[in-house]
Each structure stands twice: as structure tokens, then as C-alpha cells.
Amino acid sequence: MKTSTFSNASNDRRAASKAIVDGTAPGANFEIERVGAKGARDARYAVVWGKPAEPSKTAVAPVNAAKPKRSRKSQAAAPAGEVVPTGNKGRPPPKDVELDAAAAAGFMPEKPIVTSQANIRGQKRFDYLAERAAVGDWAAVKAYAINSNNTQAKQLQRYRARLLAYYEGTEAGATA
């Protein structure tokens, strides 16, 4: 096998792992060694095959190998046989997903409380939507215009969508 050098140790490690996966490596154990004077700006790194494995400098698994899932409280708390839905890469679903599902199931969403002093005047918008929903004026909630595209406006849009999902969920339950 041709000896190659790289300017970055991680590139060298990646190339060695790929050679193992492709089956062109002379063995599974390797070590990355610096070639050149220590501290030199033009130092290079090379793979030395067959050295004893050192956990911090050795890679014996493919670069993109699947990692085992970590145990999580939500998985442990679930009854046996029940699958707990997860988000990307084994993480739990975002809180927004849970809140949206609760609203669709017929649970009235909580009104967000604005704590930032810079945005405190925006609280009146959340208050207005909560008041309209409390009195059952769903046409006003649906027609409420949100013209901005900042973070608070996005939060207001999510709250309005949850209120409407709650309304649709309770209407569907009432007609069934």
C-alpha cells in the first residue's frame, strides 16, 4: 500500500478508516504519526499500520458507522413493548411537537408569557388571542393578522395555530 501523508491528522484518520472499510488496508490497527520537525509549519501526518491500538489515536470502525442509541429516561419510563416516538438521531421530539399534539387532542394551549422587557408590549397580542379563544370567538382568532416575521411573531403564529388546532379538535369531538 502506498504511504500517503496529510496536512491534518483527522484527514489521515479518515483515509485510514476508509481503507479498512474498502478492504485495501494491510490491517485493522493503525496509528497516526507526525512526520517532520515538531512545531514546524509544514509538518505532515502519516498512517503507520500494524502498531498496537491506542484508543485516542486509533480508528477501527468506519467513519460513518452507526452509533448505538443511548438509553433515555423517556424510553425507560415507557411500558414494555410501547415505542416512544423520537426526533432526529434518537433525540426526543421537540416540545413544539408535543404542544401541537396536545392542542389537537383537545387540551387548551397555555398562553405564552413574555418576560423580555424589550418585547413586553407584545404580550397584549397573546392576551388578545387568549381572550377571543376564551369567549369562543374563533373567527377573530382565525382572522387575526400577523404581519411581522420576527421571533415573537413566529411564536404568536404557533400559539394561534395551536388555538385553532384545539378548536378543530374539540369541534371534531363534539360532532362525533
The string of DSSP codes covering 108-142 is: PPPPP----GGGGGGHHHHHHHHHHHHHT-HHHHH
Model pLDDT, residue 17: 81
pLDDT (0 to 100) of residue 46: 81
Q: Against a cut of 0.75, is the pTM above it?
A: no
pLDDT digits (tens, 9 = 90+) for 110-137: 888 888 888 888 899 999 999 999 999 9
Mean per-residue pLDDT, 41-66 = 59
User: How confident is the prediction for the chain on average, in pLDDT?
Assistant: 75
Write down the pLDDT at residue 63.
47
- Phi and psi at residue 5, in whole multiples of 5°? -120, 150
% of the chain beyond a pLDDT of 90: 20
